[in-house]
Structure 1
Amino acid sequence: MPGAFQYKPKFVDIRVKPPRPDEPAAEDVHALKPGERACDHAGCRRAATARAPKSRELMHEHYWFCQEHAAEYNRNWNFFAGMSEGEMRAFQKDEMFTGGRPTWEMKAGKFSREAAAFNHRFHRGEGYRDPFNMFGRGGAHAQARPEPEARSLGKLERNALAELDLEDSADGAKIRGRYTELVRRLHPDANGGDRAGEGRLQKVIRAYQTLRKAGMV
């Protein structure tokens, strides 16, 4: 091969000289800035920018990770770890029907307003029949004129009616009319694109859906 085409490597001295005593040290690119917190992953010096729940039982307590370790934590996260098949199904059913929120039995206690109202009507001789005057309320054939029973509403239905600014006695037609009025008033299209009322609009829609599920509309 002609000498002009032979490969002739050029050796360059690439040794790094140690810094001089009077030379400032290089800036640490991983050093935390004021107000930043360190990643909770062992040995990581990056700033934490994402949080992740510590466990299924501690959903409101979090680890703080950098983006890389947050992604790794999420890949290994298993919400149903340690749960049996039956517990998983029960949890999914609870999420479907209640959204994981606590529920209470719809039962009036003896000190509730419903019980007090019944006792008041009972002592006045109202709301029940006493054809043989067993309670001494006005003659052997006296009958108290029955009053229409008040609508029995749960906490969800009362809150939904309050969200629509309606009384507990509002019927289906009144509920529909009020819902239509609020949607037209709060929708961004009716306010020139202003989305200030969007949060209230979502609450109104959820309240109307609650009343529909309860068969009130």
Structure 2
Amino acid sequence: MSASFQYKPRFKDMRIKPPRPEEEEAAADVLRLKPGEKQCQHPDCLKVATARAPRSREQLNESYEFCQAHAAQYNKSWNFYAGMSEGEIRSRYENEQMTGGRPTWEMKAGRMSREAAAFAAKFGTGNKTGAGRWSDPFAMFGQDHQGRAAEGPETAPIGRLERQALADLDLDPGVAREAIRARYYELLKRCHPDHNGGDRSAEDKLQRVIRAWKTLTKAKMA
């Protein structure tokens, strides 16, 4: 082949130069939150939240703020009937067949309505002695103070991520913030290889404990 047809590379130096400081700052600015933006609530994610997902079956009106990728991951593993027995699932299905899944209300006057005010003016709010006394043994007009006190305080509902994080820490919902912190440090010491003579058999548990701590910290529960 003649010299005129020999291949001559156009670029002789293909080394990649490191980015300039202003280029690094511009790249970091991509992950920086702008005014009005929220950070993704998934652990270890610094992206902007652009999608929502329901927290749990009991909190359908409250949502997590996720980026698009973590919202898709969360929705892929979503199971509305998780944790329900067959009887509860059947009852839920029958209720949806009757009401179409729409909320229903009891056919009675509200506590602040005119009917409730007229009833209280005529019979009192809890008279059990003297003139105008009355009793409600079957709690048809609402439970009395003793009935409410016997039930005890209800545990506030939490989202699915927080519930799973508490399970990874071997804790139940409703536990105090101090107990969460104490259990985290206990499991951190128990599962870390440096405290087990280099044994790495608990590394998977350690990763789940750290991820659970970050989830609870983001939810301001720890």
Report TM bin, short chain: 0.3 to 0.5
TM-score by length of 2: 0.38
Q: Which has the higher contact order (CA 8 A, sep 6+)?
A: 2
Q: Which has the larger radius of gyration?
A: 1
Please report the TM-score for the alignment, with normalisation by the length of structure 1.
0.38
